[in-house]
Chains A and B, each alone.
Chain A
């Protein structure tokens, strides 16, 4: 197990209301079940204040751009080390 910091950006953060989490996981594939549990918790808290709130789509590897310590994540089996910083991003555009 590694203790890692996970930061969410973009639509993922706006939808889930999660900005930063500390998790104990072995590899990237383990990230999403742990994070989704956290999403459920935050949603339940927010729903109490705003009954119209809809549950966000679950976070999933397929939909997420992932960087580990500034480098692009290679695959979901990539192993993690203590102190790793993981960024989860959604595609973006602008001009």
Chain B
């Protein structure tokens, strides 16, 4: 139980092998230390993992966590997180989702659920306030995600996998309503455990420390989000798809397996095309006031339309300009239960291998007639689809082409071509879960898309990456949507790109790196209030915990460092923060030597800023962040990481 408000005070532990459940010990001290969400999950996993543990081991834990703001009425705070050892990368993945499951888990009286073991037959786990039922899921097994959810519609909060998860496609995902815990193959871990579905039901609500003050804050917070040019105008009107045109303008629209940053036919697959000709209505996660989801018509059904990543990676990146096909494929991938980013990235890599005459998978750039069939083959691991189901890294291990296998740590990159946004490239390389644009710190929003700092300079990028990675880690830990953090950029800077003052501020921005670095490193120092980051005050008002800017930065840094040392224990090597050579050694523009990612220069500054050596947190750094590890265990892990294979 807990003396803190905002939390439910219980963590559920479910063993599928024994068909048993119990309460996992989790104290208020743990809550204060780890906040919630992915930070809490990383802390739990760090204490559980061993150097030899793998994703498909029976005792790999699925850790499903909510945050202290989940279910408190704060805007955009229905998020939950699933962390586990990823079968795609063999290190930790954390996958965030906006479906209803997080809210219902809390209503059942739990802040988190840990699932371990393996069922012999397909199972549906149903969590209620007093009980956990292990229901036979034989009839659900084999269903697509839509059908599975339809069959479980009496349960308000659902997690399901599709055939891709059942067949252990390494980038299979988990669905809750039409939202996805997409990245890193959590769906495959579900499938390995024969876990087809998890549902939850309850009627509990978290107590709030200062309900009236939180209600007042929420009113202001909603107003801020609705008035901000990004969260109040662009995202509701165009969704993330609205990025296609700016990415084209700034040469960061990944094209033909990241060999270019612009695509002549971009307008046909743009957010404007989607909004003007295909949008039926806006959709939203529960409690969201931004409403960025695009509901579109596919085969006479109204379904969630594609995000920017799917438009980019199944459009320009495979030389396809047919948006109707992208809508259809997006729906199919959701139904099979596969991460569109990793699947589309692996498909583009397969196409380039075919073009170079290395191996013909039967799919080619610009050829679209057989891709639906290929997606099905991937989901069922049939024929060539079985190879693509393992992702780009394993394909390159087998066939070669490592310099253009577009992944980081085994996870495929999102649709942002980083040679024209080099800080974003550093983020991709250093992100703990691999080539993820959000875990990267999403620097591209500063490098041309939202704000306009010099996208080709390396100056200041390491410090900004650390600061944004930490902040986004903490926002995620609250249970809030990461998009709420965009409102931290003052509206006038976003709204008036050609105002002289904006230009002066943004020109100076890259050179404040050392100051930003100090704030990120000595996280206990900054006490300044950040009115545009209301999460800080909201956590205080919801839980009663003392919070300020320094708490947010400390939680963020603690989460990032916990995940990193866990990855090292799981076998991540020293200096593993790399990108494929296409992005670091080949100029995007042959006439401009700055159009490649100067990773070595930025990484050196980044490691120094983080207090890491060769990408590994020092023991001292871990200790200052309150991450406790046995020194001998730590030294052994570091020695393994430094050892050449």
Chain A interface residues toward B at CB < 8 A: 9-11, 13-14, 19, 61-67, 70, 76, 87, 89-95
User: What is the CB-to-nearest-CB distance from A84 to chain B, in angstroms, rounded to a whole number?
Assistant: 15
| Range class of the B interface residue count | 35 or more
Q: List 8 A-B contacts (CB under 8 A).
A: A9-B246, A10-B245, A14-B272, A14-B275, A62-B496, A62-B497, A90-B229, A91-B495
User: What is the CB-to-nearest-CB distance from A29 to chain B, in angstroms, rounded to a whole number?
Assistant: 11
Which A residues are CB-close (under 8 A) to B242? Answer: 10-11, 92, 94
Q: Of B234, B307, B498, which one neighbours A10 at CB under 8 angstroms?
A: B234
Q: CA separation between A60 and B482, bound complex, in Å?
A: 30
Q: CA separation between A93 and B443, bound complex, in Å?
A: 11
Q: Considering the complex, which residues of chain B in the window 482-505 have a beta carbon less than 8 Å from any beta carbon of chain A? A: 482-483, 486, 494-499
Which B residues are CB-close (under 8 A) to A95? Answer: 240, 308, 437-438, 442, 482-483
**B238 lies within 8 A of A89 (CB):** no
Q: CA separation between A92 and B445, bound complex, in Å?
A: 8
**A19 lies within 8 A of B272 (CB):** yes
**A92 lies within 8 A of B246 (CB):** yes
State whether A89 and B237 are in contact (beta carbons under 8 Å apart), knowing that A95-B442, A95-B483 are contacts in the complex.
no
Which B residues are CB-close (under 8 A) to A76? Answer: 498
Q: CA separation between A88 and B86, bound complex, in Å?
A: 42
**B486 lies within 8 A of A93 (CB):** yes
State whether A62 and B499 are in contact (beta carbons under 8 Å apart), knowing that A10-B272, A94-B240 are contacts in the complex.
yes
Q: A11-B237, A63-B498, A94-B242 are in contact. List 9 more A-B contacts (CB 8 A).
A: A10-B242, A11-B238, A14-B275, A63-B497, A65-B246, A65-B249, A90-B229, A92-B243, A94-B307
**B235 lies within 8 A of A10 (CB):** no
**B450 lies within 8 A of A91 (CB):** yes
User: What is the CB-to-nearest-CB distance from B79 to chain A, in angstroms, rounded to a whole number?
Assistant: 13
Q: CA separation between A95 and B427, bound complex, in Å?
A: 14
Which B residues are CB-close (under 8 A) to A91? Answer: 229-230, 234, 246, 449-451, 494-495, 497
B240's nearest neighbour on chain A, judged by CB, is: A94
A73's nearest neighbour on chain B, judged by CB, is: B498
State whether A90 and B234 are in contact (beta carbons under 8 Å apart), knowing that A13-B272, A19-B272, A65-B452 are contacts in the complex.
yes
Q: Of B245, B270, B452, B483, which one neighbours A93 at CB under 8 angstroms?
A: B483
B233 within 8 Å of A by Cβ? Answer: yes
A90's nearest neighbour on chain B, judged by CB, is: B234
Q: CA separation between A91 and B90, bound complex, in Å?
A: 37
Q: CA separation between A76 and B497, bound complex, in Å?
A: 13
A17's nearest neighbour on chain B, judged by CB, is: B276
Chain B window 548-577, contacts with chain A (Cβ cutoff 8 Å), 1 for yes, 0 for no: 000000000000000000000000000000
